[in-house]
């Protein structure tokens, strides 16, 4: 499932995938894969992303039940 909330939060701060990747210590490809829904990040990486973007885990990674 695509993570459009992550992409929107990153864009709202005018950060590129590369900027976010460098801030959390992963590759740009990893950020791209998370946004596309091709990679399920560790909780540690999720928390790091949230800290950089100023969001909570719920705001970026919680999937509502359909």
Question: Would you write out the chain's pLDDT as a tens digit for each of its 66 residues?
Answer: 889 999 999 999 999 999 999 999 999 999 999 999 999 999 999 999 999 999 999 999 987 765
Task: With respect to residue 31, please indicate whether it lies within any of the assigned structural domains.
Answer: yes
Total domain count, the chain: 1
pLDDT of residue 47: 97
Helix (H) or strand (E) holding 35: helix 28-36
User: In which domain, by residue range, is 52 found?
Assistant: 4-60
Query: What are the backbone dihedrals phi and psi of residue 5, each rounded to the nearest 5 degrees, phi first?
Result: -70, -40
Q: What one-character DSSP code corresponds to residue 63?
A: P
CATH number at residue 9: 1.10.260.40
The pLDDT assigned to 65 comes to 66
In a domain, 66, yes or no: no
- Whether 12 maps to a domain, the answer reads yes
In a domain, 51, yes or no: yes
């Amino acid at each position: 499932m695509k993570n459009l909330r992550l992409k929107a939060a990153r864009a709202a701060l005018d950060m590129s995938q590369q900027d976010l990747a460098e801030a959390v210590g992963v590759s740009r490809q990893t950020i791209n894969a998370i946004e596309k829904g091709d990679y399920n990040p560790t909780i540690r990486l999720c928390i790091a992303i949230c800290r950089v973007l100023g969001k909570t885990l719920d705001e970026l990674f919680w999937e509502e039940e359909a």
